[in-house]
Amino acid sequence: MSTAVASQALWFLSRGSGLVLLVLFSGVVVLGVAQRLGSVPRRWPRFVVAELHRTLALFAVALLALHVVTAVLDPYVSIGWLATVVPFVSHYRTLWIGLGTLAVDLGAAVLLTSLLRRRLGFAAWRMVHWLAYLAWPVAFVHSLTASNDLGTSWVALIEWGSLAVVLTAVLARVLAAVRGQLQPQDRVPAAPSPGQSGRWA
């Protein structure tokens, strides 16, 4: 396989996985907002939405690995492995690739603290979890600017459709917060005090 063909194949894999990641990430954000708003169908148990939220997030991590590896291995560009964890050190489209790295770092912080949620406590977890609202727009700008295919109609549809869905969800969350309509968050159970039963509250 020639270098040109290999580069094109890697680019398609990287760009394709990046677009799917944007859709998945958008779904994760929307599901998270839906949980807080209590706006899921009543026939669905609440844990179903929570598990779907977590499963999509974990699947996105697996796809992210493909996205990053194919981008770094592409011989046409010069990104380098360091640029996958340290923002703005890539020689190729430094700013736009750096935004992608920053989104990865922010998302990793959210994921790791979610896995350690019961050890960290609710307050610390919640504070870090707010980074998801920063990670999404950073990832979105990276998706818009790291490539030159916005002129393709279906790519533009994915990009702008994802933006519309997430903006709608975030606006609904802001309005609900203003009106005091948010659902209470699940908190890490507290240990029973002396004299109480062995079950946690």
Q: Poorest-confidence range of 2-16, 105-119, 178-192? A: 178-192
What's the chain's average pLDDT? 82
Distance between CA atoms of residues 26 and 14, nearest Å: 18
Distance between CA atoms of residues 145 and 63, nearest Å: 20
Confidence of residue 110 (pLDDT cuts 50, 70, 90): confident
Q: What is the pLDDT at residue 99?
A: 94
Q: What is the pLDDT at residue 188?
A: 41
Q: What is the pLDDT at residue 136?
A: 92
- Hey, which of 110-119, 125-134, 150-159 has the most confident mean pLDDT? 150-159
Tell me the longest C-alpha to C-alpha distance in the chain.
74
pTM of this prediction exceeds 0.85? no
Residue 198 has pLDDT above 70, yes or no: no
Q: What is the pLDDT at residue 123?
A: 82
Question: When comparing pLDDT for 21 and 130, which is higher?
Answer: 21
The b-or-e profile of 59-83 (16+ CB within 10 A means b, else e) is: ebeebbebbbbbbbebeebebeeeb
Confidence of residue 130 (pLDDT cuts 50, 70, 90): confident
Q: What is the pLDDT at residue 105?
A: 92
DSSP states of the chain: --HHHHHHHHHHHHHHHHHHHHHHHHHHHHHHHHHHHT-S-TTS-HHHHHHHHHHHHHHHHHHHHHHHHHHHH-TTS---SGGGTSTT--SSSHHHHHHHHHHHHHHHHHHHHHHTHHHH-HHHHHHHHTTHHHHHHHHHHHHHHS-S-TTSHHHHHHHHHHHHHHHHHHHHHHHHHHHT-PPPPPPPPPPPPTTS-SS--
Residue 193 has pLDDT above 50, yes or no: no
Q: What is the mean pLDDT of residues 29-33?
A: 87
Question: When comparing pLDDT for 92 and 39, which is higher?
Answer: 92
Distance between CA atoms of residues 88 and 101, nearest Å: 8
Q: What is the mean pLDDT of residues 115-132?
A: 82
